[in-house]
Amino acid sequence: MIDDALGDRSLVVVSNREPYVHEYVEGEPTAERPAGGLVTALDGVVAKTGGTWVAWGSGDADFDPAVAPDGEVAVPPGDSGGDPADDDRPGYTLSRLDLPRRLVENYYYGYSNQVLWPICHLEADPVTVDPAFAPAYREANRRFAERAVAADPDVVWFQDYHLALAPQYVREQRPDARLVQFWHVPWPTPEFFEICPQGTELLRGLLGNDAIGFHLERYAANFRDCVARFVPDAAVTESGTIRYDGRTVETYASPIGVDTERVAANARSDGATHYWDRVTDRYDLDPERSIVLGVDRLDYTKGVIERLDALAHLLETNPGLAGEFTYVQKGTRTREGIPAYRRYYDEVRDRIADLNGAYGTPDWTPVVYIEDDVDDRELAGLYRYADAAVVSSRRDGMNLVAKEFVAAQGQPAPNAGLAQADGLDRSTRNRTPGALVLSRFVGAAESLCPAALSVNPYDVAGFAETIRTALTMDETERRERAASMRASVREDDIDAWLATQTDVLTGESRIAADDD
Ligand code: ADP
Ligand code: G6P
């Protein structure tokens, strides 16, 4: 257990996104869990570390003072998912940082998501460099650093690209603390990183850490290449450590994973089945038709437009497939303060309408779009009852949706009572695990392919053909591929990731680094 490994040392986790957003919705207090891989992965993990989690308080400013954006909330283990009854986890303190609106606009919607996010995902077009962005990023990073230092930490664990400068700021005040950062998105090549006007400053900020982790060795290697090229006074050693400012900075790769037991339990739950029943009713889904599923934050990196183009091409070139399947797109709006994201949302909606207009018939709608806020069980219901899922990111650090889909598949048939209640024959449906179509440009492809069907989302004809393969795959092949994917998702699960982080956070991994 990580809290045992840390012993008396106090841990502070710092991320931009908070695990729960408290807001009033139509006058009613709500606590929503935001969609996103970082929060999904970390909430359960931090519940095990028992420390303090510093995050931007993004909810309503006038909320109950106990949970207001600039306060501390005790998050008990039960709130962090899992079953409170068999939970001996310590829970954690959520320390919310209330950032002024202007700062949020320039630091979060600006520098983080219009400069760093696109650069890390190798997307040059959306990069927007407004002169107000970089100063705001520095200011926000200072505020996060101050809050972390105020908690008097022995170990600080920074998360992701919003906080590249904070480690250096904390280092200046707490030279003795152990600082570690996990970078949840890809790290680009030096040729691409060079687009960033503040590149060297960011690298120096990150080198304030003792260790920096990435999902893949490829990303870590790109980071070291950037340091070698843009930080003249740093030296990259052959073993992958970096000598900088009289210290050794370690870089490591550790693929993040999912809590497979929890996802499987959610998929088996009544909540999952009831939600699927509601979806089936609401959209009049025919049980004879295969279900193909997509689950995405509506972000241009997710390749939703490319997917819809591939589906249109599939129907154009394979008229015999008309009426054979329904594509269910679960979408969640995201980063709506950014024009490119608002346009993307509209484009997805328009493209779906066009596709349904062109290929739909009176008794068949090819694409169903679901925008409900769903909880983990309901989402697991979509995963469970789908015959295939498509993840087609143009670029993605890891992609947890792919792993969650695999973990939710192959559950025993739901009870016969439910099956009879609405006439659906679930006793024969969905006991065979579904196929996964997966972009080769996501981190998860490294472990899931070739068992997952690999696609290049830019290759519309090849993509369409791969969806056809998924739809027509025989049961034996589906089972074999699913068994292989399941084994890999179990091996690289969230506990395996946490075990590596524990070694790094406690300094165990330094032994190797100090040897060279
Ligand atoms: P990202 O972190 O870029 O959003 P991931 O696939 O790694 O992409 O993680 C998304 C996480 O958010 C998953 O754990 C998923 O369960 C959760 N989530 C909840 N609702 C949605 C939704 N509508 N779309 C995408 N992800 C969702
Ligand atoms: C990705 C990023 C996370 C972020 C998440 C959701 O997973 O790596 O840092 O939290 O997307 O995005 P948001 O901007 O809503 O936090």
Sign of CA dihedral 446, 448, 449, 450: positive
- Cα of first residue to Cα of last residue in the chain, in angstroms, is 29
Check pocket membership of 337 for ligand 2, CB cut-off 6 A: no
Which ligand 2 atom is nearest residue 108's CA?
Answer: 14
Backbone angle region of 410, left / alpha / beta, with phi > 0 → left and psi within -120 to 50 → alpha:
left
pLDDT of 83 > 60? The answer is: no
Instruction: Give distance in angstroms: CA of 39 to centre of ligand 2.
Output: 8
pLDDT in tens, 348-385: 999 999 999 999 999 999 999 999 889 999 999 999 99
Note whether 101-256+496-515 and 260-492 share their fold.
Answer: yes
pLDDT interval class at 511 (50, 70, 90): very low
pLDDT in tens, 176-232: 999 999 999 999 999 999 999 999 999 999 999 999 999 999 999 999 999 999 999
Check pocket membership of 296 for ligand 1, CB cut-off 6 A: yes
Q: Could you tell me which residues come within 8 angstroms of residue 316 by beta carbon, excluding any fewer than 6 positions away? A: none
pLDDT of 419 > 60? The answer is: no
For the segment 393-406, the average pLDDT, to the nearest whole number, is 98
Q: Residue 232, class by beta-carbon neighbours within 10 Å (0-12 exposed, 13-18 middle, 19+ buried)?
A: exposed
For the segment 132-156, the average pLDDT, to the nearest whole number, is 97
pLDDT of 109 > 60? The answer is: yes
Which ligand 1 atom is nearest residue 40's CA?
Answer: 14
pLDDT of 80 > 60? The answer is: no
For the segment 439-447, the average pLDDT, to the nearest whole number, is 98
Check pocket membership of 297 for ligand 1, CB cut-off 6 A: yes
pLDDT in tens, 486-507: 999 999 999 999 999 999 999 9
Check pocket membership of 466 for ligand 2, CB cut-off 6 A: no
Beta-bridged to residue 155, according to DSSP, are: 11, 178
Which ligand 1 atom is nearest residue 391's CA?
Answer: 6
Mean pLDDT, the chain, whole residue set: 90
The residue nearest atom 8 of ligand 2, judged by CA position, is 184
pLDDT of 327 > 90? The answer is: yes
Check pocket membership of 351 for ligand 1, CB cut-off 6 A: no
- pLDDT higher at 409 or 59: 409
Check pocket membership of 160 for ligand 2, CB cut-off 6 A: yes
Instruction: Give distance in angstroms: CA of 295 to centre of ligand 2.
Output: 15
Instruction: Give distance in angstroms: CA of 195 to centre of ligand 1.
Output: 28
If one residue of 15, 21, 38, 40 were mutated to test the ligand 1 pocket, choosing by the most ligand atoms within 8 A of its CB, it would be 40
Report the length, in residues, of the chain: 516
Instruction: Give distance in angstroms: CA of 223 to centre of ligand 1.
Output: 25
The residue nearest atom 3 of ligand 2, judged by CA position, is 38
Per-domain boundaries in the chain: 2-97, 101-256+496-515, 260-492
Check pocket membership of 330 for ligand 1, CB cut-off 6 A: yes
pLDDT for res 430: 54
The residue nearest atom 21 of ligand 1, judged by CA position, is 35
Provide the percentage of residues in the chain whose pLDDT is more than 90: 77
Q: What is the CATH number of domain 260-492?
A: 3.40.50.2000
Check pocket membership of 462 for ligand 2, CB cut-off 6 A: no
pLDDT interval class at 24 (50, 70, 90): confident
Instruction: Give distance in angstroms: CA of 315 to centre of ligand 1.
Output: 28
Instruction: Give distance in angstroms: CA of 65 to centre of ligand 1.
Output: 29
Which ligand 1 atom is nearest residue 398's CA?
Answer: 7
From the CA of 394, the nearest ligand is 1
pLDDT for res 513: 47
pLDDT for res 281: 95
Distances (CA, A) of 339 to 110, 114, 344: 11, 10, 9
pTM: 0.93
Instruction: Give distance in angstroms: CA of 294 to centre of ligand 1.
Output: 11
CA distance 80 to 308: 35
The residue nearest atom 5 of ligand 2, judged by CA position, is 36
From the CA of 442, the nearest ligand is 1
User: How many alpha carbons fall within 13 Å on the CB side of residue 469?
Assistant: 18
Could you please report the per-residue DSSP string of 196-218? -TTHHHHHHHHTTSSEEEESSHH
CATH superfamily of 101-256+496-515: Glycogen Phosphorylase B; (3.40.50.2000)
pLDDT for res 63: 60
pLDDT in tens, 258-308: 999 999 999 999 999 999 999 999 999 998 899 999 999 999 999 999 999
If one residue of 117, 184, 391 were mutated to test the ligand 2 pocket, choosing by the most ligand atoms within 8 A of its CB, it would be 184
Q: How many CB atoms lie within 10 A of CB 190?
A: 16
From the CA of 40, the nearest ligand is 1
Which ligand 2 atom is nearest residue 161's CA?
Answer: 9
ipTM: 0.98
From the CA of 373, the nearest ligand is 1
pLDDT for res 420: 40
The residue nearest atom 2 of ligand 2, judged by CA position, is 38
Grouping H, G, I as helix, E, B as strand and the rest as coil, residue 459 is coil
Provide the percentage of residues in the chain whose pLDDT is more than 70: 90
Check pocket membership of 91 for ligand 1, CB cut-off 6 A: no
pLDDT of 414 > 70? The answer is: no
Check pocket membership of 379 for ligand 1, CB cut-off 6 A: yes
pLDDT for res 426: 42
